[in-house]
Amino acid sequence: MTQSSDPVRIVITGMGWTTPLGDEIDAVWERLLRADSGVGPIDRFDAGAYSTNFAAQTPDPDLEAILDDSAPHAHAGVNTRFALAAAARAWRQSGLDKRNGVNRRRIGVYLGSGEGPPDFDAFAGANLAGWDDEKRAVDMGRWVKAAYELMTAQRELEQEPNMPLSHIARAFGAGGPSYNCLTACAASTQAIGEASEIIRLGEADVMIAGGAHTMIHPLGVTGFIRLTALSSRRDDPQGACRPFSSSRDGFVMGEGAGMLIIESLAHAKARGATPLAEIVGFGSSADAFRITDIQPDGEGAQATMRAALSQAGIDPLSTDDTGRPPVHYISAHGTGTQENDSIETRGIRAVFQDNAPKIPVSSIKSMTGHLIAAAGVVEAITCVQAIRTGFVPPTRNLTQPDPQCDLDYVPNEARDLNSAGGVRVAISNSFGFGGQNNTLVMKRFED
């Protein structure tokens, strides 16, 4: 992305999330500032024999209490239920529930998501006695009737990655541009950035943008264990995710969803909406390196940050009259893996140079776990909350600093920046498995 001469300004008018720490914006924000942890033992399946048997689980939302009409979503998969709950809260905050004459063909949806849990339990407990129409082997060699497969087809369909998008479009009458991206941990950041560009191009007035994901199921957990990406601190689940710490040994799986309502400033003003913050920059890059490893010098991370800052018209090396850098908070990707944290640090240092140590950087994954495709939007909402309140959340469990990670990571206690002028500009980094990188720049709304 390069700096645009397009006068269209993009504002956030609604936010919603459903996370391991709760689902109300202010309540979750208070828990983040207290450095509360949402990590605990996995109870969704028997993980007792796994080397990692803990995660940050999110309660299944009560859609009947959230949606005006939940009946069409009665069979929705867990990814979709998370997405609907977050979207409903964002929609309500934006004031779009009153619609105010908004053309539904000008309301679009752009999500980052992944597949929901495979239906491992579809055959568990099934009474196979007397079934003679055996068609194929499934589930560790069990033979089941073709008719039974048809009975479970809808459950399987509801785990497809495009299902949250379809349900959201139906629930909120969003008949405009409709997209879904699958760029792993960078997906929901990409969704927000590209949704902003769709509005700038004049193809929509409003976009519902964000992501939803869960991988807390046997296949998901097993896969990341095999990759040695998960922390194995079974004796201390809440202390397991340790971004930027010398003792870090991997990330903790999380799940949930986050949604933003974004629209052009002109459209928001015309319907009397209140902007919460402005999106001023989006950058995207690929490492073009190995599929399973990050480029060691962080060139991809640098490229996406530089592109986002360029579109925002921000010189990362500049300072104000007090010597303060132009960016006041960085929500790091900060997974707690050895490679990610040191390489992200290297990338931030390369982009901001002498300014880098002056910028508070933190990772809320130390409290929420890694929400995979939903991580970016939840961290973008964190940036908006930092802008609105002047506080930045801490990095929990950072008691043993790593010499290779030598920035200001706001260890263990939230920080009040209001005496320094608050948080006017914040950036959110998301780096996806496979080498996809995306960065958003958000700033305090000033009319």
Residues forming the active site: 185, 333, 370
* Parts of the chain with a pLDDT under 50: 1-4, 120-153
The number of distinct structural domains making up the chain is: 1
pLDDT of residue 158: 59
Domain-located, residue 202: yes
Q: What dihedral do alpha carbons 256, 333, 32, 77 form, nearest 10°?
A: 0
Domain-located, residue 170: yes
pLDDT of residue 296: 83
Residue 418's Cβ-side half-sphere holds a number of Cα atoms within 13 Å equal to 6
Whole-number Å distance between alpha carbons of 336 and 229:
9
pLDDT of residue 118: 65
Residue 219 sits in a domain whose CATH number is: 3.40.47.10
pLDDT of residue 126: 39
Structural domain boundaries, residue 75: 10-119+156-443
Domain-located, residue 140: no
Domain-located, residue 192: yes
pLDDT of residue 141: 40
Domain-located, residue 139: no
Domain-located, residue 132: no
pLDDT, one tens digit per residue, over 274-322 is 999 999 999 999 988 887 778 888 899 999 999 999 999 999 999 999 9
Whole-number Å distance between alpha carbons of 246 and 147:
54
Domain-located, residue 151: no
pLDDT of residue 124: 38
Domain-located, residue 136: no
pLDDT of residue 117: 75
30 Cβ contact partners less than 8 Å away, ≥ 6 residues apart = none
369 burial type by CB count under 10 A (0-12 exposed, 13-18 middle, 19+ buried): buried
Ramachandran area for residue 22 (φ above 0: left; ψ -120 to 50: alpha; else beta): left
